[in-house]
């Protein structure tokens, strides 16, 4: 029997139940009774789904047990990451859908699954500095920091100097415009930072996002478009995969930057 791809695709994508049956039988074979009990449904509800999946070669029946076929196993190996990617995007759909993503490199967009446990932290425009206070509190619990900044927030120079005074290893990448502003308006603090041990400073021409990654925490904010920064929404994660993704993003921009050793 020749299976048309569009029919097979519809079997898996247009029915949550068929997908769940396939995942269940991936773990172990089951009888009709066991399958319907697992899903807490009647036989007339589940039997048509099983017949459709048999017809497409995803599962087979041996004696009284249904089991996944080799084709079913091959498909699910690639289908599961696809579903997880969809779920990752849908979890924070407005964040990914409403923002400018062009400055995130393709190899990291391909690995958005690393951010599946991240949450969007949002504040009203009246409370954006409250969110930055929470942000700095999270950083204060960290023992190292890497960050990219394409925006200037007045409280940050003092905060970064505090990190340098505490001896916390800190690597920062600033855009040319932010670096110029800091150099003109906070020259003494910039000089202190550059002279401190365990600090690095890099400058990049331009980038339309801002983020920090530490040993415990990753936070990223984006632009609505190349000219409009979103000060209200931050994508925040604490697990190892989010930290790994943030470090890879930092290394990517570091490779495009020039180091500043003195001014």
Residue 16: predicted pLDDT: 79
Place of tokens 């697992």: 38
Residue 126: predicted pLDDT: 53
Output the six-digit token pair for 148. Answer: 């990219």
Residue 3: predicted pLDDT: 42
Query: How confident is the model over 54-80, as a mean pLDDT?
Result: 91
pLDDT at 61 over 90: yes
CA 256 from chain centre, in angstroms, equals 22
Task: Pick 128 or 242 by higher pLDDT.
Answer: 242
Q: State how far the Cα of 238 lies from the Cα of 119, in Å rounded to an integer.
A: 10
Residue 128: predicted pLDDT: 52
Residue 19: predicted pLDDT: 86
pLDDT at 137 over 80: no
Q: State how far the Cα of 61 lies from the Cα of 68, in Å rounded to an integer.
A: 9
Mean pLDDT for the chain? 89
**pLDDT band of 5, cuts 50, 70, 90:** very low
Query: How confident is the model over 14-25, as a mean pLDDT?
Result: 85
Secondary structure (3-state) at 143: coil
pLDDT tens digit string along 77-105?
888 888 889 899 999 999 999 999 999 99
Query: How confident is the model over 200-205, as a mean pLDDT?
Result: 97
Residue 119: predicted pLDDT: 94
Query: How confident is the model over 26-38, as a mean pLDDT?
Result: 94
Q: Which residues contact 124 (CB under 8 A, 6 or more apart)?
A: 232
Q: Which residues contact 95 (CB under 8 A, 6 or more apart)?
A: 120, 222, 233, 235
Region of 30 please: left (phi>0), alpha (psi -120 to 50) or beta. Answer: beta
Query: How confident is the model over 19-48, as a mean pLDDT?
Result: 92
Q: Where are the domains of the chain?
A: 5-83, 100-259
- Could you tell me if 150 and 210 are in contact, meaning their C-beta atoms sit under 8 angstroms apart? yes
* CATH numeric code, 5-83: 1.10.10.10
Output the six-digit token pair for 220. Answer: 């990223």
* CATH numeric code, 100-259: 3.30.870.10
**pLDDT band of 1, cuts 50, 70, 90:** very low
Residues, the chain: 263
What φ, ψ does residue 27 adopt, rounded to 5°? Answer: -75, -45
Query: How confident is the model over 32-43, as a mean pLDDT?
Result: 92
- Terminal CA-CA length for the chain: 73
Residue 233 neighbours by CB distance under 10 Å: 20
pLDDT tens digit string along 104-121?
999 999 999 999 999 998
- Could you tell me if 104 and 249 are in contact, meaning their C-beta atoms sit under 8 angstroms apart? yes
pLDDT at 140 over 90: no
**pLDDT band of 223, cuts 50, 70, 90:** very high
Identical fold for domains 5-83 and 100-259, yes or no, is: no
Q: State how far the Cα of 59 lies from the Cα of 72, in Å rounded to an integer.
A: 7
Residue 156: predicted pLDDT: 85
């Amino acid at each position: 029997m020749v299976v048309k791809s569009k029919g097979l695709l519809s079997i898996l994508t247009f029915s949550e139940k068929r997908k769940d049956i396939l995942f269940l039988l991936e773990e172990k074979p089951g009888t009709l009774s066991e399958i319907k009990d697992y899903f807490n449904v009647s036989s007339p509800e589940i039997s048509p789904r099983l017949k459709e999946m048999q017809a497409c070669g995803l599962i087979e029946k041996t004696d009284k047990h249904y089991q996944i076929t080799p084709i079913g196993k091959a498909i699910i190996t690639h289908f599961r990451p696809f579903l997880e990617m969809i779920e990752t995007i849908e979890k924070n759909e407005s964040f990914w859908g409403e923002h400018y993503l062009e400055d995130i490199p393709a190899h990291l967009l391909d690995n958005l699954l690393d951010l599946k446990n991240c949450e969007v932290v949002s504040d009203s425009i009246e409370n954006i500095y409250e969110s930055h206070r929470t942000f700095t509190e999270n950083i204060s619990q960290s023992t190292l920091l890497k960050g990219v900044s394409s925006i200037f927030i007045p409280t940050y120079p003092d905060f970064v100097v505090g990190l340098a005074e505490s001896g916390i290893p800190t690597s920062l990448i600033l855009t040319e415009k932010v670096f110029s502003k800091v150099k003109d308006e906070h020259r003494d603090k910039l000089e202190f930072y550059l002279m401190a041990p365990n600090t690095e400073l890099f400058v990049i021409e331009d980038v339309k996002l801002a983020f920090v990654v530490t040993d415990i925490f990753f936070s990223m904010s984006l632009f609505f478009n190349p000219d409009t920064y979103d000060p209200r929404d931050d994508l925040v994660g604490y697990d190892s995969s989010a930290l790994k993704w943030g470090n890879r993003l930092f290394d990517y921009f570091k490779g495009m930057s020039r180091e500043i050793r003195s001014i």
